[in-house]
Amino acid sequence: MRLGPENATLTVRTGKTGAAAKAGHDLLIEVAEWSATLDLQAGTARLTADSRSLRVLEGSGGIQSLGEDDKASIKESIDSEVLKGGAIAFTASQVSGSGDGALTLSGELDLLGTRRPLTVTLSTGPDGRLSGNATIKQTDWGMKPFSTLFGTLKVADEVHVAIERRHDG
Amino acid sequence: MVELDHPFQTGKGIEENWQLVTDLERVIPCVEGGKVLERTAPDTVRAEIKVKMGAMSMTFTGTVQVVEQDESAHQTVLRVKSREAGGQGHANADVRFSLGDGGGTVHTSAKITGKAASMGEGVVQSVLDALIKDFTDRLATQ
């Protein structure tokens, strides 16, 4: 099975923390360029993503609503200060199922040159629906969560990644 | 009203510290995002501070005036009166420096209104505390 922007979405949700967390936004970020293959019979899966293709879809919370300029500025920060064009690749070496459509992919995520184990949960439905979720703790991959406002507003260490195949995909 | 006290170290002599904090053109840029726009009187400048919050920022523009200056006691008070650019908020403060050899203390009495204040006094206090700590760290590098 091949997945990519043509038949699925790959998104990242971030939260915020710190004394001034109220000032910041929870972000929904889309990865625009990526591809994945999933071979259930062979028990393998691989996903690669272009770390410069992230773009902010929406932001909630905060003391001011996010405008298009703000979203573009966040993208610039992601590209230049957070991901810096580094590699993103997940390779699963084991796929296990529980029989109710739920699958667990166990493998390694190479994030900006650091490889660490990652588990992705997948659920599938008879209509071809497929959705997957993983939680990535940035510091586990040697990343320093983005911080601003003199360190009182930070992106939460854990970010949530979701993959969703569209019904018509 | 938020009241904050910060001791700070510069490693410099008392006279050098005095020269620094009484020179508005040198001390205001020690606040991150702060700059002097123009001198309007011998003891007053027009200034702005741009507070970055990630992609967004809030800019306050107003005056900084030396309202007390006791050279023998090495104490001075700067009065900040500012208004949020494009908004209804204000950021006003009296900043009292008491200097000694090697550093000193800064006492800040601040009143913030508008969008920034809508985060709550505890948040405003935390941000101001971090801003002034950053400011005093920069004083040491002057």
Give the SS3 label for residue A34.
strand
Which pLDDT score, from 0 to 100, does residue A168 have? 61
In tens, the pLDDT along A70-129 reads: 999 999 999 999 999 999 999 999 988 876 778 899 999 999 999 999 999 999 877 778
Contact across the interface for A23 and B123, Cβ inside 8 Å: yes
Which pLDDT score, from 0 to 100, does residue B127 have? 95
Asked if residue B56 has pLDDT above 90, the reply is no
Give me the mean pLDDT over the B20-33 stretch. 96
In tens, the pLDDT along A27-50 reads: 999 999 999 999 888 889 999 999
H/E run at residue A94: strand A87-97
Which pLDDT score, from 0 to 100, does residue A169 have? 53
Give me A24's structure tokens.
Answer: 């910041």
Which pLDDT score, from 0 to 100, does residue A109 have? 98
Give me the mean pLDDT over the B39-50 stretch. 97
Asked if residues B20 and B28 have their Cβ atoms less than 8 Å apart, the reply is: no
Asked if residues B45 and B55 have their Cβ atoms less than 8 Å apart, the reply is: no
Contact across the interface for B130 and A152, Cβ inside 8 Å: yes
Phi/psi zone of residue A128: left (φ > 0), alpha (ψ -120 to 50 degrees), beta? Answer: left
Give me A111's structure tokens.
Answer: 């994030």
Smallest Cβ–Cβ distance between A150 and the set B115, B123, B131 belongs to B131
Give the SS3 label for residue A5.
coil
Which pLDDT score, from 0 to 100, does residue A124 have? 84
Beta strands A44-50 and B34-41 are unpaired
Which pLDDT score, from 0 to 100, does residue A127 have? 79
**Average pLDDT across chain B, whole number:** 95
Among all residues of chain B, which has the CA nearest to that of A22? B119
Q: Which of residues 100-119 of B touch A (CB under 8 A)?
A: 115-116, 118-119
In tens, the pLDDT along A11-23 reads: 999 999 999 999 8
Q: Confidence class of residue B54 from pLDDT cuts 50, 70 and 90? A: confident
Asked if residue B72 has pLDDT above 60, the reply is yes
Residue B122 touches chain A, beta carbons under 8 Å: yes
Asked if residues B64 and B91 have their Cβ atoms less than 8 Å apart, the reply is: no
Which pLDDT score, from 0 to 100, does residue B59 have? 96
Residue B95 touches chain A, beta carbons under 8 Å: no
Which pLDDT score, from 0 to 100, does residue A162 have? 98
Q: What span, in angstroms and rounded, lies between the C-alpha atoms of B123 and A117? A: 37
Which pLDDT score, from 0 to 100, does residue A43 have? 87
Which pLDDT score, from 0 to 100, does residue B51 have? 94
Q: What span, in angstroms and rounded, lies between the C-alpha atoms of A41 and A118? A: 20
**A64 - beta bridge partners?**
none
Asked if residue A63 has pLDDT above 90, the reply is no
The per-residue b/e assignment along A111-123, b for 16 or more CB within 10 angstroms, e otherwise, is: bbeeeeebebebe
Give the side-chain half-sphere CA count within 13 A for A116: 13
Q: Of all residues in chain B, what percent carry a pLDDT higher than 70?
A: 100
